[in-house]
Amino acid sequence: MVESQIVARGVEAPAVIDAMRRVPRHEFVSDAYRASAYDDRPLPIEDGQTISQPYIVALMTELADVQRGETVLEVGTGSGYQAAVLAALGARVFSVEIMPGLAASARARLERLKYGVEVKHGDGYAGWPEHAPFDAIIITAAPPNVPAPLVQQLAVGGKLVVPVGRGSQDLWVWTRTQSGLDKRNVLPVRFVPMTGQAQQ
């Protein structure tokens, strides 16, 4: 998976490649899809959601430029796979999931696999201000616009990686600088819509 789907497509960061090798993706999919766990495609998980394809997880992780010991917020825990990859980089990871069943199952899975991720049920639109500022924020569902509270919780030098749009979506990286925000459009993507306040 790592060689053919991630390295071959341009992901270069050694720490990200190592984390993708070490996190067992089959632990984050249902038994019915375990045989496909290392295919380069999204797979269904509970509550009508999906686990992103490995390449997109690796790309978003590389774009976030997470360093060991940094504090990271993930919005949209899902099965917990992206959070596990971030934790495997040595980050302190906080993850918010709007669906209570998914939050509970991801928390239990991450605890069982000893990733040390803190998961809470809630609307990720508001972020997690108690643990801000964050050195990186990754959003794994697509809002129509970037949520202002998340921008406010980004540390100077921090990167916000987010798919934006309804229907047609683009993956953006916003970097907070001393003078404002540097915004870069990376590539077209397809994510489930961000629900909750983002829909209003």
The beta strand positions in 27-70, using DSSP E, are: 43-44, 50-51
Active site residue 95: no
In the numeric block, which tokens belong to residue 171?
């993956």
Q: Give dist(CA 38, CA 53) in Å, integer.
A: 9
Q: Give dist(CA 188, CA 190) in Å, integer.
A: 7
Q: Give dist(CA 190, CA 153) in Å, integer.
A: 25
The beta strand positions in the chain, using DSSP E, are: 43-44, 50-51, 71-75, 92-97, 118-121, 134-139, 154-164, 169-177, 180-189
In the numeric block, which tokens belong to residue 11?
């992901």
Which among 4, 30, 52, 105 is annotated as catalytic? 52
- Of 172, 182, 92, nearest in space to 133 by CA: 92
Which residues are catalytically annotated? 52
